[in-house]
Structure 1
Amino acid sequence: MADELTQRGYPLPSPDNIAREDATRIRNAITLISDDLTMLEGRDVQASEAVCGGVRLATAGEATAGTATNAVPVVKRVKDMITAVTNALHTTIVSEYGAAIATAINNLKGGVDPAYDTLVEIAAKLTDMTQINAILDSLAKRLRVDTASQGLDATSQSNGRVNLGLGSASTKNISASANIRANSGTDVITTDQAWASAAFVDLGTVAGAVNVDCGAGIRFRAILSGNITINFLNAKDGQGIDVVLVQDGTGGRTVSWNSNVRFPGGLAPTVATAANGWALVFTGVYCSNFAQWLACGWKNS
Protein backbone atom coordinates (compact mmCIF):
# COMPACT_ATOMS: atom_id res chain seq x y z
CA MET A 1 0.00 0.00 0.00
CA ALA A 2 1.31 3.50 -0.92
CA ASP A 3 1.85 5.70 2.14
CA GLU A 4 2.00 9.32 0.86
CA LEU A 5 1.65 12.23 3.36
CA THR A 6 1.16 16.03 3.18
CA GLN A 7 3.74 18.43 4.60
CA ARG A 8 1.75 18.51 7.84
CA GLY A 9 1.66 14.69 7.98
CA TYR A 10 -1.87 14.07 6.77
CA PRO A 11 -2.25 10.69 4.93
CA LEU A 12 -3.21 10.94 1.26
CA PRO A 13 -5.17 8.46 -0.91
CA SER A 14 -3.32 6.85 -3.83
CA PRO A 15 -4.45 5.27 -7.11
CA ASP A 16 -2.31 2.26 -6.22
CA ASN A 17 -4.29 1.57 -3.02
CA ILE A 18 -7.52 -0.36 -2.77
CA ALA A 19 -10.62 1.62 -1.83
CA ARG A 20 -10.87 0.22 1.68
CA GLU A 21 -7.32 1.20 2.46
CA ASP A 22 -7.80 4.76 1.10
CA ALA A 23 -11.08 5.13 3.03
CA THR A 24 -9.15 4.46 6.24
CA ARG A 25 -6.43 6.91 5.21
CA ILE A 26 -8.98 9.66 4.43
CA ARG A 27 -10.73 9.04 7.79
CA ASN A 28 -7.40 9.35 9.59
CA ALA A 29 -6.56 12.60 7.69
CA ILE A 30 -9.88 14.21 8.62
CA THR A 31 -9.36 13.23 12.26
CA LEU A 32 -5.92 14.82 12.31
CA ILE A 33 -7.23 18.01 10.71
CA SER A 34 -10.04 18.20 13.27
CA ASP A 35 -7.58 17.77 16.11
CA ASP A 36 -5.38 20.56 14.74
CA LEU A 37 -8.33 22.96 14.44
CA THR A 38 -9.42 22.19 17.97
CA MET A 39 -5.96 22.93 19.21
CA LEU A 40 -5.87 26.24 17.33
CA GLU A 41 -9.20 27.31 18.75
CA GLY A 42 -7.83 26.91 22.20
CA ARG A 43 -4.84 29.15 21.46
CA ASP A 44 -5.05 33.03 21.70
CA VAL A 45 -2.40 33.79 19.09
CA GLN A 46 -2.38 37.27 17.53
CA ALA A 47 -0.92 37.78 14.11
CA SER A 48 2.34 39.64 13.77
CA GLU A 49 4.99 40.08 11.13
CA ALA A 50 6.59 36.83 12.31
CA VAL A 51 3.64 34.82 13.68
CA CYS A 52 0.54 33.62 11.89
CA GLY A 53 -2.54 34.38 13.98
CA GLY A 54 -5.80 36.22 14.23
CA VAL A 55 -6.46 39.88 13.32
CA ARG A 56 -9.33 42.29 13.99
CA LEU A 57 -10.69 45.59 12.64
CA ALA A 58 -8.98 48.63 14.04
CA THR A 59 -10.91 51.28 15.96
CA ALA A 60 -11.03 54.88 14.71
CA GLY A 61 -8.39 55.86 17.23
CA GLU A 62 -6.15 52.96 16.29
CA ALA A 63 -6.55 53.76 12.59
CA THR A 64 -5.66 57.41 13.20
CA ALA A 65 -2.73 56.58 15.53
CA GLY A 66 -1.44 53.82 13.28
CA THR A 67 0.24 51.92 16.16
CA ALA A 68 -1.77 48.63 16.32
CA THR A 69 0.04 45.70 14.71
CA ASN A 70 -2.82 43.18 14.96
CA ALA A 71 -5.71 45.32 13.66
CA VAL A 72 -6.54 46.55 10.17
CA PRO A 73 -8.59 49.69 9.29
CA VAL A 74 -11.75 49.39 7.19
CA VAL A 75 -11.86 50.90 3.68
CA LYS A 76 -13.99 53.90 4.72
CA ARG A 77 -11.56 54.82 7.49
CA VAL A 78 -8.69 54.58 5.04
CA LYS A 79 -10.58 56.85 2.62
CA ASP A 80 -11.41 59.35 5.37
CA MET A 81 -7.79 59.40 6.46
CA ILE A 82 -6.57 60.03 2.91
CA THR A 83 -9.19 62.77 2.41
CA ALA A 84 -8.21 64.46 5.67
CA VAL A 85 -4.53 64.39 4.77
CA THR A 86 -5.23 65.71 1.25
CA ASN A 87 -7.36 68.58 2.56
CA ALA A 88 -4.75 69.49 5.14
CA LEU A 89 -2.05 69.42 2.48
CA HIS A 90 -4.14 71.61 0.13
CA THR A 91 -4.80 74.11 2.92
CA THR A 92 -1.12 74.25 3.75
CA ILE A 93 -0.07 74.74 0.11
CA VAL A 94 -2.66 77.45 -0.52
CA SER A 95 -1.88 79.35 2.68
CA GLU A 96 1.88 79.20 2.27
CA TYR A 97 2.36 79.16 -1.50
CA GLY A 98 -0.99 80.24 -3.03
CA ALA A 99 -0.05 83.90 -3.49
CA ALA A 100 3.33 83.01 -4.97
CA ILE A 101 1.74 80.51 -7.37
CA ALA A 102 -0.92 83.05 -8.48
CA THR A 103 1.79 85.67 -9.03
CA ALA A 104 3.86 83.24 -11.09
CA ILE A 105 0.85 82.33 -13.23
CA ASN A 106 -0.03 85.99 -13.83
CA ASN A 107 3.58 86.74 -14.75
CA LEU A 108 3.50 83.86 -17.21
CA LYS A 109 0.29 85.23 -18.77
CA GLY A 110 1.84 88.69 -18.98
CA GLY A 111 -1.46 90.49 -18.31
CA VAL A 112 -3.17 88.96 -21.35
CA ASP A 113 -6.92 89.38 -21.76
CA PRO A 114 -8.81 86.56 -19.94
CA ALA A 115 -10.34 85.60 -23.28
CA TYR A 116 -6.87 84.54 -24.50
CA ASP A 117 -5.22 83.07 -21.38
CA THR A 118 -5.61 79.37 -22.20
CA LEU A 119 -4.38 77.29 -25.12
CA VAL A 120 -7.97 76.30 -25.94
CA GLU A 121 -9.02 79.95 -26.19
CA ILE A 122 -5.97 80.85 -28.25
CA ALA A 123 -6.63 77.94 -30.65
CA ALA A 124 -10.26 79.04 -31.00
CA LYS A 125 -9.23 82.59 -31.85
CA LEU A 126 -6.60 81.43 -34.33
CA THR A 127 -9.22 79.41 -36.22
CA ASP A 128 -11.87 82.17 -36.13
CA MET A 129 -11.71 83.35 -39.75
CA THR A 130 -14.09 86.26 -39.03
CA GLN A 131 -11.54 87.95 -36.82
CA ILE A 132 -8.62 86.89 -39.01
CA ASN A 133 -10.30 88.38 -42.11
CA ALA A 134 -11.02 91.58 -40.18
CA ILE A 135 -7.34 91.81 -39.23
CA LEU A 136 -6.21 91.14 -42.81
CA ASP A 137 -8.64 93.76 -44.13
CA SER A 138 -7.34 96.27 -41.61
CA LEU A 139 -3.74 95.48 -42.56
CA ALA A 140 -4.57 95.84 -46.25
CA LYS A 141 -5.69 99.42 -45.58
CA ARG A 142 -2.46 100.41 -43.86
CA LEU A 143 -0.67 103.00 -45.97
CA ARG A 144 2.19 101.35 -47.86
CA VAL A 145 5.41 103.02 -48.95
CA ASP A 146 6.82 100.20 -51.07
CA THR A 147 4.39 100.60 -53.97
CA ALA A 148 2.58 103.38 -55.83
CA SER A 149 -0.40 101.16 -56.74
CA GLN A 150 -1.84 99.95 -53.44
CA GLY A 151 -5.40 100.12 -54.81
CA LEU A 152 -7.05 102.11 -52.00
CA ASP A 153 -10.49 103.54 -52.69
CA ALA A 154 -11.08 107.31 -52.72
CA THR A 155 -12.20 107.41 -49.09
CA SER A 156 -9.11 105.52 -47.88
CA GLN A 157 -6.84 107.75 -49.98
CA SER A 158 -8.44 110.87 -48.54
CA ASN A 159 -8.12 109.54 -44.99
CA GLY A 160 -4.48 108.69 -45.63
CA ARG A 161 -3.69 112.24 -46.75
CA VAL A 162 -5.40 113.67 -43.68
CA ASN A 163 -3.60 111.25 -41.33
CA LEU A 164 -0.27 112.20 -42.91
CA GLY A 165 -0.99 115.88 -42.13
CA LEU A 166 -0.78 117.01 -45.74
CA GLY A 167 -3.34 119.80 -45.33
CA SER A 168 -6.83 120.28 -46.71
CA ALA A 169 -5.69 120.87 -50.30
CA SER A 170 -4.02 117.46 -50.42
CA THR A 171 -7.29 115.74 -49.49
CA LYS A 172 -9.04 117.10 -52.58
CA ASN A 173 -9.40 115.43 -55.94
CA ILE A 174 -8.21 117.07 -59.14
CA SER A 175 -10.96 119.21 -60.62
CA ALA A 176 -12.09 118.52 -64.18
CA SER A 177 -12.05 121.43 -66.62
CA ALA A 178 -15.86 121.32 -66.88
CA ASN A 179 -16.14 121.85 -63.10
CA ILE A 180 -13.71 124.77 -63.26
CA ARG A 181 -15.78 126.42 -65.97
CA ALA A 182 -19.02 125.80 -64.09
CA ASN A 183 -17.51 126.86 -60.73
CA SER A 184 -18.72 123.59 -59.19
CA GLY A 185 -17.12 121.34 -56.59
CA THR A 186 -14.26 121.99 -54.17
CA ASP A 187 -11.48 120.11 -55.93
CA VAL A 188 -7.91 121.21 -56.63
CA ILE A 189 -7.08 123.01 -59.89
CA THR A 190 -3.96 121.73 -61.62
CA THR A 191 -2.06 123.54 -64.34
CA ASP A 192 -3.24 121.29 -67.16
CA GLN A 193 -6.88 121.51 -66.08
CA ALA A 194 -6.63 125.30 -65.71
CA TRP A 195 -5.45 125.59 -69.31
CA ALA A 196 -8.06 123.09 -70.46
CA SER A 197 -10.83 125.16 -68.87
CA ALA A 198 -9.52 128.28 -70.63
CA ALA A 199 -9.70 126.71 -74.09
CA PHE A 200 -12.17 128.03 -76.66
CA VAL A 201 -15.62 126.45 -76.67
CA ASP A 202 -16.84 125.94 -80.23
CA LEU A 203 -20.46 127.08 -80.66
CA GLY A 204 -20.47 125.93 -84.27
CA THR A 205 -22.52 127.74 -86.94
CA VAL A 206 -25.10 130.10 -85.43
CA ALA A 207 -27.99 132.32 -86.49
CA GLY A 208 -30.86 134.07 -84.71
CA ALA A 209 -30.87 134.12 -80.89
CA VAL A 210 -27.60 132.78 -79.48
CA ASN A 211 -27.45 131.92 -75.76
CA VAL A 212 -23.87 131.72 -74.53
CA ASP A 213 -23.65 129.56 -71.38
CA CYS A 214 -20.95 131.14 -69.23
CA GLY A 215 -20.91 127.99 -67.09
CA ALA A 216 -19.51 126.07 -70.07
CA GLY A 217 -16.36 128.19 -70.51
CA ILE A 218 -14.81 131.64 -70.74
CA ARG A 219 -13.87 131.77 -74.42
CA PHE A 220 -16.24 131.03 -77.31
CA ARG A 221 -16.07 130.99 -81.08
CA ALA A 222 -18.80 130.74 -83.71
CA ILE A 223 -19.40 131.08 -87.46
CA LEU A 224 -22.23 133.43 -88.49
CA SER A 225 -24.67 131.92 -90.96
CA GLY A 226 -27.25 134.65 -90.32
CA ASN A 227 -27.87 137.74 -88.24
CA ILE A 228 -27.62 137.00 -84.49
CA THR A 229 -28.55 138.43 -81.08
CA ILE A 230 -26.27 137.36 -78.25
CA ASN A 231 -27.45 136.74 -74.67
CA PHE A 232 -25.14 135.57 -71.85
CA LEU A 233 -26.43 133.01 -69.30
CA ASN A 234 -25.14 131.69 -65.93
CA ALA A 235 -22.51 134.35 -65.52
CA LYS A 236 -20.59 134.64 -62.24
CA ASP A 237 -19.60 137.93 -60.63
CA GLY A 238 -16.29 139.12 -62.05
CA GLN A 239 -16.26 136.49 -64.78
CA GLY A 240 -14.50 137.52 -67.95
CA ILE A 241 -15.77 136.31 -71.36
CA ASP A 242 -14.19 136.41 -74.81
CA VAL A 243 -16.22 135.77 -77.97
CA VAL A 244 -14.77 135.47 -81.48
CA LEU A 245 -17.21 135.64 -84.45
CA VAL A 246 -16.39 134.73 -88.04
CA GLN A 247 -18.46 135.48 -91.13
CA ASP A 248 -19.49 132.51 -93.25
CA GLY A 249 -18.88 132.25 -96.96
CA THR A 250 -21.73 134.69 -97.65
CA GLY A 251 -20.72 137.41 -95.19
CA GLY A 252 -22.68 140.52 -94.30
CA ARG A 253 -24.12 139.02 -91.07
CA THR A 254 -24.93 141.43 -88.25
CA VAL A 255 -24.57 141.10 -84.48
CA SER A 256 -26.91 142.49 -81.82
CA TRP A 257 -26.52 142.34 -78.03
CA ASN A 258 -28.78 141.83 -75.05
CA SER A 259 -29.68 145.08 -73.29
CA ASN A 260 -27.50 144.28 -70.24
CA VAL A 261 -24.32 144.45 -72.32
CA ARG A 262 -22.76 147.90 -71.91
CA PHE A 263 -20.17 149.28 -74.36
CA PRO A 264 -18.11 152.49 -74.03
CA GLY A 265 -20.23 155.46 -75.01
CA GLY A 266 -23.17 153.15 -75.46
CA LEU A 267 -21.88 152.25 -78.92
CA ALA A 268 -21.69 148.60 -79.94
CA PRO A 269 -18.58 147.65 -81.94
CA THR A 270 -18.77 147.64 -85.72
CA VAL A 271 -19.00 144.20 -87.34
CA ALA A 272 -16.73 143.39 -90.28
CA THR A 273 -18.86 141.88 -93.04
CA ALA A 274 -16.33 140.36 -95.44
CA ALA A 275 -17.07 136.72 -96.28
CA ASN A 276 -14.98 134.18 -94.35
CA GLY A 277 -13.37 137.04 -92.40
CA TRP A 278 -13.16 137.89 -88.74
CA ALA A 279 -16.43 139.63 -87.99
CA LEU A 280 -15.87 140.69 -84.40
CA VAL A 281 -13.82 140.10 -81.27
CA PHE A 282 -15.74 140.70 -78.01
CA THR A 283 -14.46 140.83 -74.41
CA GLY A 284 -16.44 141.64 -71.30
CA VAL A 285 -16.64 141.30 -67.50
CA TYR A 286 -19.87 140.58 -65.63
CA CYS A 287 -20.86 142.77 -62.64
CA SER A 288 -23.52 141.05 -60.57
CA ASN A 289 -24.32 144.16 -58.51
CA PHE A 290 -25.89 145.71 -61.58
CA ALA A 291 -26.50 142.48 -63.53
CA GLN A 292 -24.65 144.01 -66.45
CA TRP A 293 -21.72 143.28 -68.72
CA LEU A 294 -18.93 145.85 -69.03
CA ALA A 295 -17.70 145.15 -72.54
CA CYS A 296 -15.74 146.27 -75.52
CA GLY A 297 -15.15 144.89 -78.98
CA TRP A 298 -13.59 145.52 -82.35
CA LYS A 299 -13.73 144.28 -85.84
CA ASN A 300 -10.72 142.53 -87.23
CA SER A 301 -10.85 143.18 -90.98
Structure 2
Amino acid sequence: MKKLSYILVTLVFLSCKTEKKDVYQEYNGQMVKVEFDDSKTDSTFTGYGGEYYPNGNLKSMSYFKNGEPADTLFYYYENGLVKEKGLVKNNLSIGWWTYFDKNGKLTEKSEWLILRDSSYKNQSYYFDKKGGIKTKPSTYFKLDIPDTLRVGKNLARIKNYVTNNYGNEGNLISVIMDNQYSESKIQKDTFGDGNLKPFFGIYAYKTGKLKIQGKIREQILNRTIDNDSLHTFTISEHYKYFEKDIYVWNKDKQSESAKRIGNEMKEEYKNN
Protein backbone atom coordinates (compact mmCIF):
# COMPACT_ATOMS: atom_id res chain seq x y z
CA MET A 1 0.00 0.00 0.00
CA LYS A 2 1.67 3.16 -1.13
CA LYS A 3 1.55 6.11 1.21
CA LEU A 4 -0.84 8.86 0.26
CA SER A 5 -0.30 12.56 0.58
CA TYR A 6 -2.82 14.91 -0.99
CA ILE A 7 -3.45 18.54 -1.56
CA LEU A 8 -6.89 18.81 -3.01
CA VAL A 9 -7.79 21.77 -5.19
CA THR A 10 -10.73 22.25 -7.47
CA LEU A 11 -10.00 21.02 -10.99
CA VAL A 12 -11.40 23.41 -13.58
CA PHE A 13 -12.54 21.88 -16.86
CA LEU A 14 -12.49 24.46 -19.64
CA SER A 15 -15.01 24.17 -22.41
CA CYS A 16 -15.16 26.39 -25.45
CA LYS A 17 -17.01 28.88 -23.25
CA THR A 18 -14.36 28.60 -20.48
CA GLU A 19 -17.06 27.66 -17.97
CA LYS A 20 -16.21 25.88 -14.74
CA LYS A 21 -17.68 22.38 -14.48
CA ASP A 22 -18.22 20.70 -11.12
CA VAL A 23 -17.47 16.97 -11.13
CA TYR A 24 -19.78 14.55 -9.29
CA GLN A 25 -19.20 10.86 -8.63
CA GLU A 26 -21.16 8.09 -6.94
CA TYR A 27 -19.50 7.22 -3.63
CA ASN A 28 -20.87 4.52 -1.33
CA GLY A 29 -24.36 4.94 -2.76
CA GLN A 30 -24.51 8.74 -2.90
CA MET A 31 -23.50 11.38 -5.42
CA VAL A 32 -20.75 13.67 -4.12
CA LYS A 33 -18.77 16.58 -5.49
CA VAL A 34 -15.14 15.62 -6.08
CA GLU A 35 -12.13 17.89 -5.77
CA PHE A 36 -8.90 16.84 -7.46
CA ASP A 37 -5.28 17.20 -6.53
CA ASP A 38 -2.09 17.67 -8.47
CA SER A 39 0.26 19.46 -6.06
CA LYS A 40 0.11 17.00 -3.10
CA THR A 41 1.17 19.49 -0.40
CA ASP A 42 -1.96 20.48 1.54
CA SER A 43 -2.51 18.54 4.79
CA THR A 44 -5.63 20.44 5.89
CA PHE A 45 -8.16 19.44 3.22
CA THR A 46 -11.43 17.90 4.40
CA GLY A 47 -13.94 16.63 1.85
CA TYR A 48 -14.28 14.25 -1.09
CA GLY A 49 -11.25 14.20 -3.30
CA GLY A 50 -8.92 12.15 -5.42
CA GLU A 51 -6.59 11.88 -8.41
CA TYR A 52 -7.44 11.49 -12.08
CA TYR A 53 -6.07 9.99 -15.29
CA PRO A 54 -5.08 12.14 -18.29
CA ASN A 55 -8.41 11.19 -19.92
CA GLY A 56 -10.27 12.83 -17.02
CA ASN A 57 -11.49 9.60 -15.38
CA LEU A 58 -10.94 9.06 -11.66
CA LYS A 59 -7.76 7.27 -10.62
CA SER A 60 -8.52 7.30 -6.88
CA MET A 61 -11.14 8.74 -4.55
CA SER A 62 -11.98 8.92 -0.84
CA TYR A 63 -13.38 11.17 1.84
CA PHE A 64 -10.44 13.05 3.36
CA LYS A 65 -10.02 14.59 6.77
CA ASN A 66 -7.06 16.89 7.27
CA GLY A 67 -5.47 15.57 4.10
CA GLU A 68 -5.75 11.85 4.99
CA PRO A 69 -8.30 9.28 3.75
CA ALA A 70 -10.93 8.83 6.47
CA ASP A 71 -13.31 6.44 4.71
CA THR A 72 -13.28 3.83 1.94
CA LEU A 73 -10.50 4.49 -0.56
CA PHE A 74 -11.28 3.60 -4.17
CA TYR A 75 -8.77 2.97 -6.95
CA TYR A 76 -10.04 2.88 -10.53
CA TYR A 77 -8.94 1.51 -13.88
CA GLU A 78 -8.55 4.04 -16.65
CA ASN A 79 -11.83 2.76 -18.15
CA GLY A 80 -13.65 4.02 -15.03
CA LEU A 81 -14.32 0.69 -13.32
CA VAL A 82 -13.25 0.06 -9.73
CA LYS A 83 -9.85 -1.66 -9.43
CA GLU A 84 -9.72 -2.06 -5.64
CA LYS A 85 -11.31 -0.57 -2.54
CA GLY A 86 -10.91 -0.67 1.22
CA LEU A 87 -10.04 1.31 4.33
CA VAL A 88 -6.73 2.91 5.26
CA LYS A 89 -5.29 4.00 8.58
CA ASN A 90 -2.13 6.04 8.90
CA ASN A 91 -1.80 5.61 5.12
CA LEU A 92 -1.79 1.80 5.40
CA SER A 93 -4.37 -0.74 4.23
CA ILE A 94 -6.50 -2.17 7.02
CA GLY A 95 -9.52 -4.44 7.18
CA TRP A 96 -11.06 -6.25 4.22
CA TRP A 97 -10.17 -5.01 0.72
CA THR A 98 -11.83 -6.15 -2.51
CA TYR A 99 -10.13 -6.35 -5.91
CA PHE A 100 -11.61 -6.49 -9.42
CA ASP A 101 -10.40 -7.08 -12.97
CA LYS A 102 -10.80 -4.57 -15.80
CA ASN A 103 -14.24 -6.00 -16.61
CA GLY A 104 -15.57 -5.47 -13.09
CA LYS A 105 -15.32 -9.13 -11.99
CA LEU A 106 -14.38 -9.79 -8.36
CA THR A 107 -10.95 -11.47 -8.22
CA GLU A 108 -9.85 -11.22 -4.59
CA LYS A 109 -10.91 -10.32 -1.04
CA SER A 110 -8.09 -9.88 1.47
CA GLU A 111 -7.89 -8.92 5.12
CA TRP A 112 -5.09 -6.49 6.02
CA LEU A 113 -3.71 -5.86 9.50
CA ILE A 114 -1.25 -3.20 10.62
CA LEU A 115 1.73 -4.87 12.29
CA ARG A 116 4.96 -3.10 13.16
CA ASP A 117 4.03 -0.02 11.10
CA SER A 118 3.34 -1.97 7.89
CA SER A 119 0.37 -3.72 6.27
CA TYR A 120 0.20 -7.50 6.74
CA LYS A 121 -2.03 -9.70 4.58
CA ASN A 122 -3.79 -11.96 7.11
CA GLN A 123 -6.34 -13.80 4.95
CA SER A 124 -7.11 -13.97 1.22
CA TYR A 125 -9.94 -15.36 -0.89
CA TYR A 126 -9.28 -15.65 -4.64
CA PHE A 127 -12.16 -16.14 -7.08
CA ASP A 128 -12.53 -17.81 -10.45
CA LYS A 129 -14.47 -16.35 -13.38
CA LYS A 130 -17.71 -17.85 -12.07
CA GLY A 131 -17.29 -16.31 -8.62
CA GLY A 132 -16.24 -19.51 -6.86
CA ILE A 133 -13.37 -19.59 -4.36
CA LYS A 134 -10.09 -20.91 -5.77
CA THR A 135 -8.82 -23.03 -2.88
CA LYS A 136 -5.20 -23.41 -3.92
CA PRO A 137 -4.06 -19.76 -3.88
CA SER A 138 -6.47 -18.78 -1.09
CA THR A 139 -5.53 -18.83 2.57
CA TYR A 140 -8.14 -18.25 5.28
CA PHE A 141 -9.62 -19.64 8.48
CA LYS A 142 -12.90 -19.84 10.34
CA LEU A 143 -13.12 -20.04 14.11
CA ASP A 144 -15.82 -21.60 16.26
CA ILE A 145 -15.85 -19.34 19.32
CA PRO A 146 -18.86 -19.26 21.66
CA ASP A 147 -20.91 -16.09 21.50
CA THR A 148 -20.87 -15.88 25.30
CA LEU A 149 -18.35 -17.31 27.76
CA ARG A 150 -18.49 -18.08 31.44
CA VAL A 151 -15.99 -16.99 34.06
CA GLY A 152 -13.02 -19.36 34.06
CA LYS A 153 -11.96 -21.83 31.35
CA ASN A 154 -13.79 -22.01 28.00
CA LEU A 155 -13.32 -24.06 24.83
CA ALA A 156 -13.17 -22.92 21.21
CA ARG A 157 -11.78 -24.47 18.05
CA ILE A 158 -10.60 -23.83 14.51
CA LYS A 159 -13.58 -24.81 12.36
CA ASN A 160 -11.81 -24.55 9.02
CA TYR A 161 -8.26 -23.75 7.94
CA VAL A 162 -7.22 -23.37 4.31
CA THR A 163 -3.58 -22.75 3.45
CA ASN A 164 -1.44 -22.36 0.35
CA ASN A 165 1.70 -23.30 2.30
CA TYR A 166 2.37 -27.03 2.05
CA GLY A 167 5.34 -28.98 3.36
CA ASN A 168 6.27 -32.34 1.89
CA GLU A 169 6.19 -33.81 5.42
CA GLY A 170 2.98 -32.07 6.44
CA ASN A 171 1.80 -29.10 8.46
CA LEU A 172 1.12 -28.53 12.15
CA ILE A 173 -1.38 -25.98 13.44
CA SER A 174 -1.42 -24.52 16.94
CA VAL A 175 -3.24 -21.60 18.55
CA ILE A 176 -1.48 -19.12 20.83
CA MET A 177 -3.88 -17.21 23.07
CA ASP A 178 -3.23 -14.05 25.06
CA ASN A 179 -5.26 -15.18 28.05
CA GLN A 180 -5.86 -12.72 30.85
CA TYR A 181 -6.00 -14.33 34.30
CA SER A 182 -6.26 -11.11 36.35
CA GLU A 183 -6.02 -7.35 35.96
CA SER A 184 -2.23 -7.61 35.90
CA LYS A 185 -1.56 -11.08 34.45
CA ILE A 186 -1.74 -11.89 30.73
CA GLN A 187 -0.26 -15.21 29.72
CA LYS A 188 0.45 -16.76 26.31
CA ASP A 189 -1.06 -20.26 26.24
CA THR A 190 -0.33 -22.59 23.31
CA PHE A 191 -2.79 -25.27 22.15
CA GLY A 192 -2.42 -27.97 19.52
CA ASP A 193 -3.55 -31.58 19.00
CA GLY A 194 -1.68 -32.60 15.85
CA ASN A 195 -4.33 -31.72 13.26
CA LEU A 196 -5.48 -28.70 11.28
CA LYS A 197 -8.54 -28.01 13.46
CA PRO A 198 -7.31 -27.94 17.06
CA PHE A 199 -9.35 -26.99 20.10
CA PHE A 200 -8.02 -24.11 22.20
CA GLY A 201 -8.78 -22.57 25.56
CA ILE A 202 -10.03 -19.09 26.39
CA TYR A 203 -9.81 -17.86 29.97
CA ALA A 204 -12.29 -15.21 31.16
CA TYR A 205 -11.38 -13.77 34.52
CA LYS A 206 -14.42 -11.55 35.10
CA THR A 207 -17.92 -10.89 33.83
CA GLY A 208 -18.77 -8.24 31.26
CA LYS A 209 -17.32 -7.35 27.88
CA LEU A 210 -14.04 -8.98 26.90
CA LYS A 211 -11.82 -8.70 23.83
CA ILE A 212 -10.01 -11.96 23.16
CA GLN A 213 -6.85 -12.00 21.04
CA GLY A 214 -4.76 -14.78 19.62
CA LYS A 215 -2.83 -16.06 16.65
CA ILE A 216 -2.70 -19.26 14.63
CA ARG A 217 0.77 -20.65 14.10
CA GLU A 218 1.26 -22.79 11.02
CA GLN A 219 4.46 -24.85 11.02
CA ILE A 220 5.42 -26.14 7.58
CA LEU A 221 7.56 -29.28 7.68
CA ASN A 222 9.93 -30.10 4.79
CA ARG A 223 12.50 -32.82 4.21
CA THR A 224 15.30 -32.79 1.63
CA ILE A 225 17.68 -35.59 0.68
CA ASP A 226 21.15 -34.78 -0.65
CA ASN A 227 23.42 -36.88 -2.90
CA ASP A 228 24.74 -38.80 0.12
CA SER A 229 21.17 -39.75 1.15
CA LEU A 230 21.43 -37.40 4.10
CA HIS A 231 17.99 -36.27 5.27
CA THR A 232 17.59 -32.66 6.34
CA PHE A 233 14.41 -31.40 8.00
CA THR A 234 13.41 -27.75 8.04
CA ILE A 235 10.49 -26.00 9.74
CA SER A 236 9.13 -22.65 8.60
CA GLU A 237 6.35 -20.75 10.33
CA HIS A 238 3.49 -18.55 9.24
CA TYR A 239 1.05 -16.67 11.48
CA LYS A 240 -2.55 -15.53 11.21
CA TYR A 241 -4.10 -13.21 13.78
CA PHE A 242 -7.59 -12.85 15.21
CA GLU A 243 -9.55 -10.98 17.84
CA LYS A 244 -13.17 -10.94 18.89
CA ASP A 245 -15.39 -9.04 21.29
CA ILE A 246 -17.45 -11.41 23.48
CA TYR A 247 -19.49 -11.22 26.66
CA VAL A 248 -18.75 -13.14 29.88
CA TRP A 249 -21.53 -14.41 32.15
CA ASN A 250 -21.28 -15.86 35.63
CA LYS A 251 -20.29 -19.48 36.19
CA ASP A 252 -23.85 -20.80 36.19
CA LYS A 253 -24.57 -19.71 32.61
CA GLN A 254 -23.18 -21.12 29.40
CA SER A 255 -24.11 -20.45 25.79
CA GLU A 256 -25.44 -23.18 23.52
CA SER A 257 -22.41 -22.83 21.26
CA ALA A 258 -20.07 -23.41 24.23
CA LYS A 259 -21.99 -26.55 25.21
CA ARG A 260 -21.87 -27.78 21.61
CA ILE A 261 -18.09 -27.29 21.38
CA GLY A 262 -17.63 -29.13 24.66
CA ASN A 263 -19.73 -32.05 23.43
CA GLU A 264 -17.80 -32.14 20.14
CA MET A 265 -14.54 -32.31 22.02
CA LYS A 266 -15.74 -35.16 24.25
CA GLU A 267 -16.97 -37.07 21.21
CA GLU A 268 -13.72 -36.56 19.31
CA TYR A 269 -11.53 -37.80 22.13
CA LYS A 270 -13.87 -40.75 22.71
CA ASN A 271 -13.54 -41.79 19.06
CA ASN A 272 -9.76 -41.49 19.21
In the superposition, the TM-score normalised over structure 2's length comes to 0.21
More strand by share: 2
Q: Which has the higher contact order (CA 8 A, sep 6+)?
A: 2
More helix by share: 1
In the superposition, the TM-score normalised over structure 1's length comes to 0.20
| Structure showing greater Rg | 1
